[in-house]
Amino acid sequence: MKKLFVTVVAALLAGAAMAQMPNVKIENHQGDIINTSSLVNGKPTILSFWSTTCKPCLMELNTINDQLMDWLDEADFQVVAVSIDDTRSAAKAKALASGNGWSDFIVLYDKNQDFKRAMNVNMVPHVFVLDGKGKIVYNHTGYTPGSEAELLEVVKKLQ
């Protein structure tokens, strides 16, 4: 029974590791509709799902933003921040992203939560690391101060 459990868990983890970036239409910060597949550009990507009401989300993204220039000296990657706020809250999300100075991020707005569902995100913050081909190589939910360093380590292994 124990062997069966270990085999099933290993198969699930292998399947999750081979998952790819889905193809979903979403709005960018300029208000244009883009396809998520266009985010796959040969560089590793930190993909973070957040909402305006999620304090840990904002803490994590602000910490990444504060360290981003130093991190980019160590690895070539991009950060994509995906707001899951609905249409009513989208203006607040855009103002929050601008106000926090996330100009080095690619900020997207998943107003209908299609991308969230396609990525199987159930709670935020939910962060993924994708390789340069769009394959999901790491993900976690929640945030504790200092845990963002693990993201950089995963990205550096992809170089």
Q: Domains, the chain, ranges and CATH?
A: 21-157 (3.40.30.10)
Q: How wide is the angle at C-alpha 141 spanned by C-alphas 2 and 101, nearest 5°?
A: 160
Percent over 90 (pLDDT), the chain: 87
Please give the distance of CA 88 from its chain centroid, rounded to a whole number.
22
Average pLDDT on 52-81 reads: 97
Residue 39 CA to its chain's centroid (Å): 11
What is the 3-state composition of the chain as percent helix, strand, coil, each rounded to the nearest 5? 45, 25, 35
Angle of helix 148-157 relative to helix 55-74, nearest 10 degrees, comes to 40
* 147-151: long-range contacts, CB 8 A cutoff, minimum separation 24: 147/60, 148/60, 148/63, 148/64, 148/67, 151/46, 151/64, 151/127
pLDDT in tens, 103-154: 999 999 999 999 999 999 999 999 999 999 999 999 999 999 999 999 999 9
pLDDT tens profile 79-98: 999 999 999 999 999 999 99
- Flag whether pLDDT at 70 surpasses 60: yes
- Token output for 137: 């190589």
pLDDT at 7 > cutoff 80: no
The pLDDT-based confidence of 17 (bands split at 50, 70, 90) is very low
